[in-house]
Amino acid sequence: MADACTIPDETSPAGSVQCPECKRINEVLARVGDRWSVLVIISLARYGTLRFNELKRNLGISQRMLSLTLRQLVRDGLIEREQFPTIPPKVEYSLTAMGTSFREPVMALGQWALDNLDNIDDARARFDEVVEA
Residue 18 binds DNA (CB under 7 A)? no
Stretch that binds DNA, among 87-95, 100-108, 116-124, 125-133 (CB under 7 A): 87-95
Q: Yes or no: say if 79 and 42 are a contact pair by the CB < 8 Å rule.
A: no
Give the Cα separation of 5 and 24 in Å (integer).
9
Residue 19 binds DNA (CB under 7 A)? no
Nearest-approach distance from CB 6 to DNA, in angstroms: 26
Residue 65 binds a second copy (CB under 8 A)? no
**3-state class percentages of the chain: helix first, strand second, coil last, to nearest 5:** 65, 10, 25
Half-sphere exposure of 114 (CA within 13 A, CB side): 7
CB atoms within 10 A of CB 11: 5
In the range 39-78, which residues lie near DNA by CB under 7 A?
51-54, 61-65, 67, 70-71
Residue 63 binds a second copy (CB under 8 A)? no
Give the Cα separation of 20 and 90 in Å (integer).
43
In the range 10-49, which residues lie near a second copy by CB under 8 A?
10, 14-19, 21-33, 35, 38-39, 42-43, 46-47
Residues that bind DNA (CB under 7 A): 34-36, 51-54, 61-65, 67, 70-71, 81, 88-91
